[in-house]
Chain A
Amino acid sequence: DIQMTQSPSSLSASVGDRITITCRASQSISTYLNWYQLKPGKAPQLLIYETSSLQSDVPSRFSGSGSGTDFTLTISSLQPEDFATYYCQQGFSSPLTFGGGTKVEIK
């Protein structure tokens, strides 16, 4: 199985901050890396697919980059609605696996 490691596990930031979340795969996954946002009581939302493609209706302040084993999700200017937990997921091979999550909290 491909292990996905996210860092940090949590972070505190202010509205307007630029933040970056890192995801590392235990082996190369090319660009088959997806990012999700989870909020309590709501359906999870796909933000970025295949490393850097923005899912429809997702604000352009979200961006992704990377390849091989190292990937990042960046929020260029944090908005109040962005305080949530973010997960990466590899789609390179089954079993599909997720990172441990990064909780973004208000400073």
Chain B
Amino acid sequence: QVQLQESGPGLVKPSQTLSLTCTVSGGSISSGGYFWTWIRQHPGKGLEWIGYIYYSGSTYYSPSLKSRVTISVDTSKNHLSLKLSSVTAADTAVYYCARGIRGHYGMDVWGQGTTVTVSS
């Protein structure tokens, strides 16, 4: 079955760009009917949706993060990426990638999450 695994630096300095990768195994990121999304969870808080991308490259971002976020797909490597620029301590969180199903827009496959701390 499809599995997702996030990877990237666990520590990022303030004002720098956070870059994460989500590797998709057991299936193709180009499969129709799905979208690929990033979600984060601040320490002790709830889930916050960051944005999603269709395999075609069309994206939609959270309005609160739109000016700083880029989500992309690399079909040759079967992975998706997240870049979040100008980070602050408020971006410290567990970051999840997930596969979503077009139609009901629920996320049926999730990675285990990766913790990113923003600190100098």
Contact = CB atoms under 8 A, between A and B. Distances in A.
Contacts, number: 64
A96 B105 contact: yes
B104 A49 contact: yes
B110 interface: yes
A89 interface: yes
Query: Per DSSP, are chain A's interface residues mostly helix, strand or loop, or mixed?
Result: loop
A3 interface: no
Given A43-B111, A50-B104, A91-B106, A99 B63 contact: no
A41 B106 CA distance: 21
Main secondary structure of the interface of B (DSSP, over half): strand
A75 interface: no
B107 interface: yes
Residue with the highest number of chain B CB atoms closer than 10 Å, among A32, A49, A97: A49
Contacts of B113: 43
A42 B96 CA distance: 11
Contact of B46 (A1, A95, A100): A100
B112 interface: yes
B63 A95 contact: yes
Contacts of B52: 94, 96
Contacts of B60: 94-95
A98 B105 contact: no
A49 B101 contact: yes
Given A42-B112, A43-B113, A98-B47, A32 B104 contact: yes
Interface of A: 1, 32, 34, 36, 38, 41-46, 49-50, 55, 87, 89, 91-92, 94-101
The 3 closest A-B pairs by CB, nearest first: A91-B105, A34-B106, A49-B106
Given A44-B98, A49-B104, 6 more contacts: A87-B47, A89-B107, A91-B106, A95-B49, A96-B49, A98-B47
6 contacts: A38-B47, A42-B112, A46-B106, A49-B101, A49-B104, A89-B106
